[in-house]
């Protein structure tokens, strides 16, 4: 589990990453949480793609907006780059980066 203790409301606060090897293939999934009140919002487990050059990518689809999250472990941290996309295209894409720590 990876956490962002400094998350503001609606920002990425936690990531859970699971990987397994099966028949010489790597399978990964990610569950993301954003900071909400009274408790954090959970996006559910989603299959992750392995990225060329390392790291993982996941697409989280919501009712009004979606998120693309790219993650890569750098030293002791997990760097996460979150692109927020409104599903109706009414707002430009927004990219925000976070450095999460292992809990």
Structural contact between residues 77 and 100, judged by C-beta atoms closer than 8 angstroms: yes
Give residue 101's pLDDT: 97
Give residue 80's pLDDT: 97
pLDDT tens string 12-56: 999 999 999 999 999 999 999 999 989 999 999 999 999 998 899
- Domain borders along the chain are 2-102
Return mean pLDDT, the chain.
Answer: 94
Q: pLDDT band for position 87 (50/70/90)?
A: confident
Q: Which token pair is 95?
A: 């990219």
Q: Is the pLDDT of residue 57 over 90?
A: yes
Extended strands (E) in 1-103: 2-3, 12-22, 25-34, 41-50, 56-61, 65-74, 77-86, 94-102
- DSSP conformation class of 40: -
Q: Which token pair is 85?
A: 């996309």
């Amino acid at each position: 589990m990876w956490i962002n203790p400094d998350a503001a409301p609606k920002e990425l606060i936690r990531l859970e990453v699971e990987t397994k090897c099966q028949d010489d293939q790597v399978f990964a999934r990610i569950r993301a949480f954003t900071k909400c009140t009274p408790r954090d919002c959970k996006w559910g487990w989603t299959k992750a793609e392995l990225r060329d050059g390392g790291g993982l990518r996941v697409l989280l689809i919501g009712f009004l907006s979606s998120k693309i999250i790219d993650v890569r472990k750098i030293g002791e941290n997990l760097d996460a780059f979150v692109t927020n996309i409104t599903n109706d295209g009414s707002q430009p894409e927004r990219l925000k980066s976070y450095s999460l720590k292992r809990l």
